[in-house]
Chains A and B, each alone.
Chain A
Amino acid sequence: QTDVHEALPAFSDQGADTCLRCHSGDTVEGIFSTPHAVASDPGTPFAQQQCESCHGPGGDHAGRLRPGQERPAPLAFAHQGSVNREQEVAICLSCHQSQERNHWQGSVHERQGLTCTSCHSVHTPHDPVMNRQEQASVCFDCHTRERAQSLQASAHPMRQGQMACTECHQPHGTLNDAMLVRGTLNETCLECHAEKRGPFLWEHAPAAEDCASCHVPHGSNHASLLRRRAPLLCQECHSRAGHPSIAQTGERLPEGRPSAALLGGSCTNCHSQVHGSNHPSGRNLSR
Chain B
Amino acid sequence: NQDSRAQGYWPTADTAEWACRLCPEQSQRDGRVTAGVGHVSDSSAKFGDYTGLDESGPYWLGELEVRTRNEQGTYAEAQAKNLGLDSRQVRLLYGEQGRYDIGFEYQQIPHFVAEQARTPFLGAGTQVLTLPANWERASTTQGMSQLNPSLKRFFPTLERETYGLNAGARRNDRWDYSVDFRRTEQQGTRLQGASFLNTAVVLPIGVDRVTERMDARLSYREDRWYLQAAYHGSQFDNNADSVIWDNPFSPLAEGGDRGRLAQEPGNDFHQLVLSGRWQPGRLLQTSGRLAVGRLRQDEAFLPATINPWVGDVNQPALSLDGRVDTLNGQVRALIQPGSALSVVAELYYDDRDNRTPRLEFTPVRSDLAVAPTQFNRPYSFERAGSKLRADLKTGSGTTVSAGLSRETMERSFQETEKTSTTDYWGEVRTALTKMLDVRLKGGQERRRFVEHYRPLDDLVPGENPLLRRYHLGERDRDQVRASVNYLPRDWMTLSVSLDYAKDDYFNTRIGLTEARDRSHSLDVSVRPTENLSLYAFATRQRIDSDQAGSDNFSTPDWTGHQQDQVDTFGVGIEREALLDGLDVGLDYGYSYGRGVIEMETRANAAPFPDLKTHLSRLELFARYQWSEPLSLGLSFGVEHYRSADFFIDAVAPDTVANLLASGQQSPRYSVQFGQVSLTYQFW
Contact = CB atoms under 8 A, between A and B. Distances in A.
Nearest to A182: B232
Given A145-B541, A269-B202, A282-B262, A13 B17 contact: yes
B621 interface: no
Interface string A89-109: 011001101110011011000
B583 interface: no
Contacts of A46: 20, 23, 26
Given A149-B541, A197-B234, A206-B471, 5 more contacts: A48-B13, A144-B523, A152-B568, A239-B467, A287-B262
Nearest to A92: B9
27 contacts: A11-B13, A15-B15, A35-B73, A35-B97, A41-B97, A43-B173, A44-B97, A48-B12, A49-B8, A145-B497, A151-B591, A183-B273, A198-B324, A199-B324, A221-B593, A222-B595, A240-B461, A250-B599, A250-B605, A250-B608, A255-B650, A266-B647, A270-B194, A280-B313, A282-B262, A286-B195, A287-B261
Interface in B547-570: 547, 549-553, 558, 560, 562, 564, 566, 568, 570
B632 interface: no
A153 B67 CA distance: 37
B424 interface: no
B267 interface: yes
Chain A interface residue count: which class? 35 or more
Interface string A69-104: 000000000010000000000110011011100110
Contact of B267 (A14, A38, A102, A198): A198
Given A99-B219, A269-B195, A251 B273 contact: no
A50 B15 CA distance: 9
B193 A269 contact: yes
A264 B193 contact: yes
A239 to B, nearest CB: 4
B22 A52 contact: no
Contact of A279 (B261, B313, B611, B651): B261
B462 interface: yes
Nearest to A185: B350
Contacts of A45: 8
B129 interface: no
5 residue pairs, one from A and one from B, having the closest CB atoms: A250-B606, A43-B5, A15-B18, A175-B330, A279-B262
B568 A151 contact: yes
Given A221-B593, A239-B511, A240-B462, A247 B601 contact: yes
B180 to A, nearest CB: 12
A33 interface: yes
Contact of A41 (B73, B379, B662): B73
A45 to B, nearest CB: 8
Contacts of A195: 209, 211, 236, 238, 264
A282 B378 CA distance: 14
Given A98-B176, A144-B521, A209-B379, A17 B21 contact: yes
A15 B566 contact: no
B379 A205 contact: yes
A238 B23 CA distance: 70
A281 B367 contact: yes
With a 10 A CB-CB cut-off, give which of A113, A271, A278 has the most chain B CB atoms.
A278
B83 interface: no
Interface string B396-425: 000001000000000101100000000000
B275 A221 contact: no
B221 A98 contact: yes
B285 interface: yes
Given A195-B238, A258-B651, A264-B662, A283 B363 contact: yes
A281 B304 contact: yes
Given A43-B5, A199-B354, A279-B262, A162 B13 contact: no
A214 to B, nearest CB: 9
Contacts, number: 483
A238 B658 CA distance: 22
B299 interface: yes
Contacts of A16: 18, 20, 22-23
Nearest to A93: B9
Contact of A175 (B24, B342, B346, B539): B346
A232 B265 contact: no
Interface in A1-20: 1-2, 5, 8, 11, 13-17, 20
A117 interface: no
Interface in B63-93: 67, 69, 71-73, 75, 81, 87, 89
B432 interface: no
Contact of A39 (B26, B49, B329): B26
Nearest to A256: B606
A204 B277 CA distance: 37
Interface in A111-127: 111, 113, 125
Contacts of B551: 245-247
A221 to B, nearest CB: 4
B315 A280 contact: yes
A166 interface: no
Contact of A270 (B195, B299, B379): B195
A176 to B, nearest CB: 6
Contact of A102 (B200, B287, B376, B429): B287
B589 A151 contact: yes
A162 B97 contact: no
B323 A249 contact: no
Contacts of A239: 463-464, 466-467, 510-511, 549-550, 553
Contact of B606 (A38, A53, A251, A268): A251
A16 B267 CA distance: 57
Contacts of B301: 201, 278-280
Contact of B5 (A94, A194, A264): A94
B181 interface: no
Nearest to B589: A151
Contact of B97 (A38, A103, A203, A260): A38
Contacts of B167: none
Nearest to A157: B50
A270 B19 contact: no
With a 10 A CB-CB cut-off, give which of B10, B24, B570 has the most chain A CB atoms.
B10
B682 interface: no
Contact of A258 (B87, B605, B657): B657
B11 A32 contact: no
A279 B374 CA distance: 13
Contacts of A262: 647
B615 interface: yes
B350 A184 contact: yes
A232 B234 CA distance: 35
Interface string B362-379: 111111000100101111
B613 interface: yes
Contacts of A103: 277, 287, 289, 332
